[in-house]
C-alpha cells in the first residue's frame, strides 16, 4: 500500500539516553536495530503482569470473534492480566482509500486498510466478550480506540471520523447497558512521525468534534531534554517541549498523558517529569493517567527499552515526586502492549 511493512515492536537503536518512547524518530515498525521476535501467547502468568497490568494490543484483525475472546480473557484475568483498567487497541496509522471512507492501515500482513465501521464492529466484539465474562460485574474497563500520528493522512477529517467512531462505540455500550465499561480515544503521538503542527491539527480537530471525550496520548517525548524544561527547548526537529506538553494534556481538559516509559535507564521518565513540571508551572498541568510498557511485544529485540510495568511506574512516580509542581500526582495504572491477537 505504502511500501511499508509494519513490524510491531518498535526498536530505538539511537543512544538510549536520547530515546523517547517508541518511535525515537523511526517510522512505525521500521527497526533500526535487530528485528524483534514476537512473543508467543502466554501459557502461564508472566511475572511482569501479576494481575496488576492490563494488556493493550497492536491490532492485526477486525474479526469480532477474536476480539470477543480477548475481552472475555481480560474479564477473567487469563494470562495474569488485570481484570480492570485501561486497554488500548491500537489500529495503526490514519488512512483512507478514497478520501471519503476513513479508517487505518492496521498491523496485519501487508498493512491492509480497515474502515472505522470495521473497527467499530471489532471493538464491539471486545466489549461484548468482556461483559459476558465479567460475572459478577465487579471489574471495570476503559477501552481506548487507538490510532497514531504517522503518515500523510494525519488530518482533521480523520480526527473527526475517529471522534465519530468513539461516539458510536459509546452509544453501543450505553444501549447494551454494560456496567463498568467506558470507551475513549487514544493516539500514539510520536515526535519522529509527524510535525508538531500536523499533529496539533489532528488533535485540535478531535477535541473540537468531541470536547468531552477523553483522549489518551500514548506517545513519546523523543529527543526532549531530560534535565530541564524550556517551552522552546527542541526535542525532535519540529517539536519543542511545549509541543509535547500540548499533545500530552494542554490541548484540553479531557486529554491525558499515557507516556511510554520504555527506557530502563530512566531517561524517558525524566523527560516526562520535566515536561509535567514545566506544563504545571505554565498553568496547563498534565494529567498522567497511566504508563505504557512493551514487554509483551519485545521478544529479544528491545534491550534497554523493556521496562516492566512495575519498573515504569516506579521511575515515573519518582520523577513526579522530585518536582514540586507534580508532587501531588501518583500514577497507579499500567498497561503493556503486545502484538498477539
SS (H, E, C) 156-220: HHHHHHHHHHHHHHHHHHHHHCCCCEEEEEEEECCCCCCCHHHHHHHHHHHHHHCCCCCEEECCC
Would residue 1 count as lying in a domain? Answer: no
Instruction: Say what the pTM is.
Output: 0.88
Would residue 303 count as lying in a domain? Answer: yes
Would residue 27 count as lying in a domain? Answer: no
Of 230, 227, 233, 221, which is closest to residue 262 (Cα–Cα)? 221
pLDDT at 52: 94
Q: Which domain holds residue 236?
A: 50-338
Domain CATH number, residue 185: 3.20.20
Q: How far apart are CA 259 and CA 160, in angstroms?
A: 24
Count how many domains the chain has. Answer: 1
pLDDT band with cut points at 50, 70 and 90 for residue 41: very low
pLDDT at 248: 97
pLDDT at 44: 53
pLDDT at 46: 74
Of residues 148 and 285, the one with the higher pLDDT is 148
Would residue 43 count as lying in a domain? Answer: no
Q: What is the mean pLDDT of residues 21-45?
A: 37
Question: Taking 70 as the threshold, does the pLDDT of residue 324 lie above it?
Answer: yes
Question: Taking 50 as the threshold, does the pLDDT of residue 300 lie above it?
Answer: yes
Would residue 17 count as lying in a domain? Answer: no
Cα dihedral sign, 272-275-279-280: positive
Which residues are CB-contacts of 165 (< 8 A; sequence separation ≥ 6)?
116, 119, 120, 145
pLDDT at 282: 81
Each residue of 82-130: pLDDT tens digit?
999 999 999 999 999 999 999 999 999 999 999 999 999 999 999 999 9
Would residue 155 count as lying in a domain? Answer: yes
Amino acid at each position: 500500500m505504502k511500501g511499508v511493512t509494519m513490524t510491531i515492536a518498535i526498536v530505538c537503536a539511537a543512544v538510549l539516553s536520547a530515546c523517547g518512547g517508541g518511535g525515537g524518530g523511526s517510522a512505525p515498525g521500521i527497526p533500526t536495530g535487530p528485528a524483534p521476535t514476537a512473543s508467543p501467547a502466554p501459557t502461564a502468568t508472566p511475572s511482569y503482569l501479576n494481575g496488576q497490568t492490563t494488556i493493550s494490543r497492536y491490532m492485526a484483525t477486525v474479526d469480532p470473534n477474536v476480539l470477543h475472546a480477548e475481552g472475555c480473557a481480560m474479564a477473567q484475568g487469563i494470562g495474569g492480566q488485570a481484570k480492570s483498567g485501561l486497554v488500548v487497541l491500537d489500529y495503526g496509522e490514519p488512512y483512507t482509500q478514497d478520501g471519503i471512507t476513513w479508517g487505518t492501515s492496521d498491523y496485519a500482513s501487508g498493512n491492509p486498510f480497515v474502515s472505522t465501521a470495521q473497527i467499530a464492529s471489532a471493538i464491539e466484539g471486545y466489549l461484548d466478550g468482556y461483559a459476558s465474562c465479567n460475572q459478577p460485574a465487579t471489574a471495570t474497563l476503559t477501552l481506548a480506540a487507538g490510532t497514531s500520528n504517522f503518515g500523510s493522512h494525519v488530518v482533521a477529517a480523520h480526527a473527526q471520523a475517529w471522534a465519530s467512531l468513539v461516539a458510536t462505540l459509546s452509544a453501543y455500550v450505553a444501549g447494551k447497558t454494560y456496567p463498568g465499561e467506558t470507551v475513549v480515544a487514544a493516539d500514539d503521538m510520536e515526535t519522529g512521525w509527524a510535525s508538531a503542527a500536523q499533529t496539533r491539527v489532528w488533535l485540535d480537530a478531535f477535541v473540537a468534534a468531541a470536547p468531552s471525550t477523553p483522549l489518551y496520548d500514548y506517545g513519546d517525548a523523543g529527543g526532549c531534554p531530560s534535565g530541564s524544561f524550556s517551552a522552546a527547548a527542541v526535542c525532535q526537529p519540529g517539536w519543542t517541549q511545549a509541543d509535547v506538553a500540548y499533545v500530552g494534556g494542554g490541548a484540553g481538559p479531557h486529554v491525558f498523558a499515557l507516556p511510554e516509559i520504555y527506557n530502563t535507564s530512566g531517561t524517558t521518565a525524566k523527560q516526562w517529569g520535566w515536561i509535567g513540571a514545566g506544563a504545571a508551572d505554565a498553568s496547563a498541568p498534565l494529567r498522567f493517567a497511566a504508563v505504557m510498557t512493551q514487554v509483551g511485544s519485545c521478544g529479544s529485540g528491545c534491550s534497554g527499552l523493556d521496562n516492566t510495568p512495575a519498573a515504569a511506574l516506579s521511575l515515573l512516580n519518582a520523577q513526579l515526586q522530585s518536582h514540586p509542581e507534580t508532587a501531588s500526582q501518583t500514577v497507579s495504572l499500567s498497561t503493556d502492549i503486545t502484538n498477539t491477537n
